[in-house]
Chains A and B, each alone.
Chain A
């Protein structure tokens, strides 16, 4: 951690750390003493474990699920479906399903959140904080409980399940969960506020003069919206998309409770390798993909965000 060779050579100290500390300017020493405990904490208990996990992804699966040498790309091969019994699409399907669910859920969240945020922004000012709170409060309850609420609503015999049966969407005596549909619903439910808040911020800052001018120039409300309103909300939309899609891609609780085996997502695949399935390298490889997706997404957002004008302080 600390390089001792930078201390003064003529004063060999039995306490290299103390000597090093004394060799710094008071300002630097102050910085280190205030910031070091937290920085070291996060380094040891998050950065180090993450690197360990990345390392595990490149190791071989041992007979009891523990990772062992030699280094190999087995885990990634398994993720692509190549197992002992030849190729099977299970893992690959899980990966693709995660992408698809993230894509669909994010799209649906945008469709719901956009008019919602606009509606809040045009309501009377004294109601707006209460309306925003009303949208956010459900997400303050524990996510396990929220998923449980949907289990109650979608299980066999409930009005929603009955309606679906009547329409012939599901067989008799079946519920709407576990299913891919229930997972999508759960994801939308979970992440709706994450999209409403940044979009509302964008709508609130909306320059109405531009909208008026556009109504003047384009006359049609649709074209006015497209040319004057939509571009101004783009940064909020972008922020919301990141806030929704990144955690949705790594979601564990919702697919576990509402999905079941055939609606599994990457998070469940990863978790299973560390409990029942016991294949640490495979789980670590899945986690590595999630990390890449997360940081890739954040990086892309920063790039696009800067091109959008940079003025928008996008939440990260």
Chain B
């Protein structure tokens, strides 16, 4: 009897928490369809803010900045990170403590310290030598720095999950070092490389703090643009663009669920 009440209490608590988690997002979605220019009351359904969105050059510019930054940094991070992941695996019998510390550093360092130190560093270099002033380049550098560890760890864990004799089997079956890379390493690694690329890209597009401190005035990314719009006084377009971003996340969530299902079935 009391057990039943306890369980019912838990279920109620679960739904309350879910409401807590989704309410702020739901409000944004709701008001994005509001015809009135207000967050306080709902005047009727409208898509006008979405329409405005596609004519907002600043916002479209920010979107393209985000994509360029995400793509460029992910490609660089993928190459460098894969090399580290492979090196860590190949030489895992050695003492690589210093490397592990180095790799975890970008992950554990607080965003704000990360961003500020990059910015202070770049600004000082710029003052001294006239290079590396705040620009897309500095943003890419900063993003690659925090993406490298994730790529390296994904690649490393893929290798660790492999039967180590596979490497020997490839040698044994007449594959030269080049052919081993082309016919064994890369194909085996492909799913992990794709995953690492998408994670890097997502981290980059989602990042606000580090971008904010390393960006030049022309390099506002989507989160930076939204931030600025919020600080200037909310425009309902923010609701619309935020809704689109929330939608993208929801699609990603459903996809990840389907992907996991399929993965487990195999």
A residues engaging B (CB < 8 A)?
27, 30-31, 33-35, 37-39, 41-43, 45-50, 52-53, 56, 66, 112, 115-116, 118-120, 129-131, 133-135, 137-138, 140-146, 148-153, 155-158, 189, 192, 246-247, 249-253, 257, 267, 270-271, 274, 280, 283-284, 287, 290-291, 294-295, 298, 316
Contact = CB atoms under 8 A, between A and B. Distances in A.
Contacts of A130: 257
Contact of A141 (B25, B83, B124, B141): B25
> How big is the B interface, by class?
35 or more
B67 interface: no
B127 to A, nearest CB: 8
B83 A34 contact: yes
Contacts of B201: none
Contacts of A66: 127
Interface string B45-88: 00000000000000000000000000000000000110110111
A47 to B, nearest CB: 7
A291 B120 contact: no
Contacts, number: 225
Contacts of B120: 49, 52-53, 56, 274, 280, 284
Interface in B150-175: 152
Contacts of B110: 246-247, 249-250, 267, 290-291, 294
Interface of B is mostly: helix
Given A34-B86, A137-B249, A290 B102 contact: no
**Closest 9 A-B residue pairs measured CB to CB?**
A149-B24, A34-B87, A250-B110, A49-B121, A35-B87, A38-B84, A49-B117, A157-B40, A53-B117
Contacts of B250: 137
B148 to A, nearest CB: 5
Contacts of A33: 83, 87
A270 B213 CA distance: 12
Interface centre among A39, A66, A131, A246, by most B CB within 10 Å?
A: A39
A47 B227 CA distance: 28
Contacts of B10: 115, 118-119
Contacts of B148: 38, 41-42
A144 B229 CA distance: 11
7 contacts: A42-B148, A45-B121, A45-B142, A133-B253, A137-B253, A145-B245, A249-B110
A48 B145 CA distance: 12
B118 A146 contact: no
A140 B15 CA distance: 20
A167 to B, nearest CB: 19
B113 interface: yes
B131 interface: no
A142 B223 contact: yes
A41 B152 CA distance: 13
Contact of A155 (B21, B39, B105, B257): B39
B260 A49 contact: no
B27 A152 contact: yes
Given A152-B27, A274-B116, 19 more contacts: A31-B91, A35-B87, A35-B91, A38-B83, A41-B148, A42-B148, A45-B118, A112-B17, A119-B10, A140-B253, A142-B222, A143-B208, A148-B238, A148-B242, A157-B41, A246-B110, A291-B113, A294-B109, A295-B108
